[in-house]
Amino acid sequence: MSGNGKEAVRLCEHIVRQAFGEIVCRVASTLLNRGRLPAPTIARLAGLPRPTTYAALLILIQHDLVQSNGASYKDTGEDEQYEFDVMECMMRMRWGRILAITHEKLDDVALEVVRQLMIFGKLKVPEIIATCGGQHDALRAVAVSDAIIALLRGRFLHASHPELAILESDQIARRYAAARRRLVVARGSALLSPQDQTNLNDEAQFQVRQEREEQRDIHRVLIQKAKVDKDKKRRKGKAVEEFDYELKNDVPLRVNYDRYGVLIRNELIVKAAEDRWNKGAGVVMRAVLDAALRDTSVLSDDRTHDAVGPVEIMDRIPNSDYPVLLAGLGVSSKTAISDLVRHYLNILAGEDQMVGAGGVFLQKEGTTNPGYQVELEAICKRLRETMLTELVRQKLGDKAARVLTVVSKSSKVFETTVRDCAMVPLKEARRLLAELQRLSLVETQEVPKTGAKSRAGLPPSMEYHLWAVDLPRVYGVLLTGVYKTLANIIQRKAKEVEKRKLPLAREARVLGHEGGRGLLQLKDQEDLADLDDALNKLSLAETRSELVVFILRDLPGWPGQK
């Protein structure tokens, strides 16, 4: 969906240069621009000695930025070749948001664990404890171990494996080739039907993806032991069961970006519910999403797995939010909370017959004891469409946004239809359509003339062109523009730091003294204050741009795909 265009390549080069320096960036740039290559060729094209190239490749593999075809690991007799993972590199732009979510959901120790994994890449449990300061401090080691357990139980981390550094496409190709050879031997013929080849390929994909999921499973590193405390009182005839957890020391861990993506998506859906209705609807929507969150939830889900009931939803609404629910409906203060929640659920499920352009957020299951599922894919499609409309509105104005909406809602549309539905004069509609076409947001299709036009059932006076929107292409164009913006922001931040290199060096010398920056000259203090202000503004722009990338690229419901 994102593609490896020149702007994506440029963005990855800036990210790698900022994180690892110029030498590693030369190796990464070679792979980004040339594609899959063996190590000797990378060294020659990058103009680096082979030991330096191998060290740079090790750094990139440690951080999952480069994968190989696994020829040496699988002992296939082929040359080991390497390929850069563009999507994994771009995930580093989301680190600030990931750290904020970790601090909000857990504590400072868990935040430090995630930060160390970001700095060093894949780490085993003893290595994480050592980097977090627990090597010679028993209490700190226990706190770090507890934080790792909490992160694993919350699916914020997952296990890693050497085979995960092998390209999935190569694993599928090897599995397909082996299955094909077995089938040829069994049938005694090398001629296979297209259906047989399709079945073999699907089976190979399924097996490889199942194996990779098992290799990421947290139970490879987290040992759960059941413990029943007999001294506690029994409730309703059932024993209160607790669990003890232990960690294996030989399994590396890494950050689970998909779980953080699920939480970011849920926050966007809550904000969309607030914008569509009110804050009370957002409170109920957050409770529904929290109740529907499962260990198996992934960002690509088209809807939540299990239907959740009103009681389970009400248990996740804090008492402090009850006044918000009352204010949102404007009902009597004596109304029961259960009735308020059910009323909000009916609204979110569209049972009030007032769905409108916002669509329904929930799907109701059952009647006597109803459950609700969140329509994730439908909501994400509307979020993406809303993002497109807002970007056009900011750049060209409200009329252009209306014109684009009319064209996108129709497969193909005439200028007169755009004029009537968007409520703009024909001359203005043509100008706006030309502006949208210049931005690659709409395209035209010529209508056949004379006899061909009459055979198509079109009157002779009809226009000669139809207007349409190719949404996958439009989103690709927007993504390319945002990638360019992000690369420019990173480049601008580096230049701002370079311009104030001398004041930063002076600040580093007085940083450990009492008074800190106040010991510097007034000119240096002003330069550093300007640098802080510029970096804060650029970081804010970077965060907002990365959220646009998340909405356009990562959310489910990409047009034309299942």
pLDDT of 4 above 70: no
Share of the chain above pLDDT 90, in %: 38
Tokens representing 553? Answer: 């690229």
Return the number of other C-beta atoms located less than 10 Å from residue 150's C-beta: 18
- Answer whether residue 216 shows pLDDT above 80: yes
Burial 396-434, CB ≥16 within 10 A → b, else e:
beebbbbbbbbbbebeebbbebbbebbebeeeebeebbe
CB 124 within 8 A of CB 249: yes
The rounded distance, in Å, linking the Cα atoms of 465 and 155 is: 52
pLDDT at 53: 94
Q: What is the pLDDT of residue 323?
A: 84
**139 Cα distance to chain centroid:** 36
The CB density around residue 245, as the number of other CB atoms within 10 Å, is 15
Lowest mean pLDDT among 86-100, 181-195, 323-337: 323-337
Average pLDDT for 496-520 = 81
Taking residues 288-294, report their average pLDDT. Answer: 90
pLDDT of res. 340: 85
In the chain, % of residues over pLDDT 70: 91
pLDDT-derived band at 57, boundaries 50, 70, 90? very high
Q: What is the mean pLDDT of residues 201-227?
A: 89
* pLDDT over 60 (residue 355): no
pLDDT, tens only, 151-179: 999 999 999 998 899 999 989 999 999 99
- Does the pLDDT value for residue 540 go beyond 90? yes
Average pLDDT, rounded, for the chain: 85
**What pLDDT does residue 1 have?**
45
Residues 6, 13: Cα–Cα separation, whole Å = 10
Report the pLDDT averaged over residues 122-149. 90
Could you report the per-residue pLDDT of 293-315, keeping only the tens digit for each? 888 888 988 888 888 888 888 88
Confidence of residue 2 (pLDDT cuts 50, 70, 90): very low
Q: Tell me which of 55-59, 173-177, 183-187, 506-510 is least confident.
A: 506-510
Stretch 524-550: mean pLDDT, rounded? 90
Q: Average pLDDT of 283-291?
A: 91
Q: d(Cα 548, Cα 231) in Å, to the nearest integer? A: 54
Which of 77-91, 178-192, 264-278 bottoms out in mean pLDDT, i.e. has the lowest? 178-192
397: left (phi over 0), alpha (psi -120 to 50) or beta: left
From 6-20, 316-330, 357-371, the region with the lowest mean pLDDT = 357-371
Fold (CATH) for 380-447+463-469: Arc Repressor Mutant, subunit A (1.10.10)
Q: What is the pLDDT of residues 366-401, one digit of tens each?
A: 767 788 888 888 899 889 988 888 888 888 888 888
Q: What is the mean pLDDT of residues 532-536?
A: 91
Range 259-374 classified under CATH 1.10.10? yes
Taking 90 as the threshold, does the pLDDT of residue 54 lie above it?
Answer: yes
**pLDDT given at position 211:** 92
Taking the C-alpha atoms of residue 243 and residue 228, their distance in angstroms, rounded to an integer, is 8
Which one of 2.60.120.10, 3.40.50.800, 3.30.70.260, 1.10.10.10 gives the CATH number of domain 6-92?
A: 1.10.10.10
Average pLDDT over residues 139-151: 92
